């Protein structure tokens, strides 16, 4: 499995398994074990997903040494703030039954995430987290956080796929040494991604699926990926992306698919944000 060096020098796998919406415990555990057996070493979860404990069970059942794994989880909005973050981190660690995390992310740029970042900087310095980062931060929020804190986020996990390519965001984050990790790499199938003619025709040249072409396109852009699947054959297929390379013409063709807008919702929409804010803080 190929890796990329983060801004603090640690190596992170470019490919991992995301477990968002893996709500069935048996299915989630089976998927994690399948991925680990297929060579995956990065597992991405979150407190908001409700499956950290199941991920922990799968890790313990596997034969993979802890030092060979890269485990990510995330801090949810209701736990924002210095003291809340310290407790939420320990709760996540206990559910995962781990002694440390490889990557801890602030899930959304909502609430007292400055207090959260101070707590995470301390946990990082104590050796309880190997790297700290953010998720769903637009460039202005990321720039402000970087400017007013000691540690630059190692990762920003954001929506990136052929229909929302985020080139300007990527250029800014790279200038600050922040690694992009894509969520919803397949846009969850929206805009008929899996039958897209451009992606399918490129895949036909290499005898690869649309999913494999999409992941390869992201990785060639230097973007890490965490595709989710509960099907064994898809988990294995998604990892089979290291034996071909897209040409510049292929990359240019895919760039034409960009709609420059989210396939889901705007993380700056006040109505969306208000749903995440704990009721006691709502106006």
- Say if residue 268's pLDDT is above 90: no
DSSP for 67-84, written as a single string: GG-EEEEEE-GGG-SHHH
Nearest to 48 by CA among 121, 157, 188: 157
Which residues, including other chains, have CB under 8 Å from residue 94's CB and lie 6 or more apart? none
Q: How confident is the model at residue 275 (pLDDT cuts 50, 70, 90)?
A: confident
Helix (H) or strand (E) holding 180: strand 179-183
- What domains, with CATH codes, occur in the chain? 3-281 (3.20.20.100)
Is 107 annotated as a binding-site member? yes
Q: Please check the confidence at residue 250 and state whether its pLDDT lies above 50.
A: yes
33-60: average pLDDT? 98
- 104 is an active site residue: no
**Bridge-partner residues for 12, per DSSP?**
4
Tens of pLDDT along 160-199? 999 999 999 999 999 999 999 999 999 999 999 999 999 9
With a cut of 60, say whether residue 282 has pLDDT above it: no
What H or E segment, with its residue span, contains residue 135? strand 132-135
What is the b/e burial string over 19-28, where b = at least 16 CB atoms within 10 angstroms of the residue's CB?
bbebeeeeeb
Please pick, among 49, 104, 113, 164, the residue that the annotation labels catalytic.
49
Per-residue pLDDT at 281: 43
Can you give the pTM of this predicted structure? 0.96
> Each residue of 117-127: pLDDT tens digit?
999 999 999 99
DSSP code at position 42: E
């Amino acid at each position: 499995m190929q890796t990329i060096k983060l801004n603090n020098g640690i190596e992170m796998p470019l490919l991992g398994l995301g477990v968002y919406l893996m709500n069935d415990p048996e299915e989630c555990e089976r998927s994690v074990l399948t991925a680990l057996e297929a060579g995956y070493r990065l597992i991405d979860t979150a407190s908001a997903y409700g499956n950290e404990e199941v991920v922990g069970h799968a890790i313990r059942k596997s034969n993979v040494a802890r030092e060979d794994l890269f485990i990510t989880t995330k801090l949810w909005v209701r736990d924002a703030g210095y003291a809340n973050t310290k407790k939420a981190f320990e709760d996540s660690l206990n559910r995962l039954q781990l002694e440390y995390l490889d990557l801890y992310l602030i899930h959304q740029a909502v609430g007292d995430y400055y207090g959260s970042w101070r707590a995470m900087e301390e946990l990082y310095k104590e050796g309880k987290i190997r790297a700290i980062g953010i998720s769903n931060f637009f460039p202005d929020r990321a720039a402000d956080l970087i400017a007013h804190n000691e540690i630059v986020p190692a990762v920003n996990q954001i929506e990136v796929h052929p229909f929302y390519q985020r080139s300007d965001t990527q250029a800014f984050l790279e200038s600050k040494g922040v690694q992009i990790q894509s969520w919803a790499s397949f846009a969850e199938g929206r805009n008929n991604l899996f039958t897209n003619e451009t992606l399918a025709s490129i895949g036909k040249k290499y005898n690869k699926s649309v999913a494999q072409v999409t992941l390869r396109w992201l990785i060639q852009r230097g973007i890490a990926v965490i595709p989710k699947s509960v099907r064994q054959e898809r988990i294995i297929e998604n990892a089979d992306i290291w034996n071909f390379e897209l040409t510049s013409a292929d990359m240019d063709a895919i760039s034409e698919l960009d709609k420059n807008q989210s396939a889901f919702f705007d993380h700056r929409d006040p109505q969306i944000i208000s749903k995440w804010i704990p009721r006691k803080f709502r106006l």
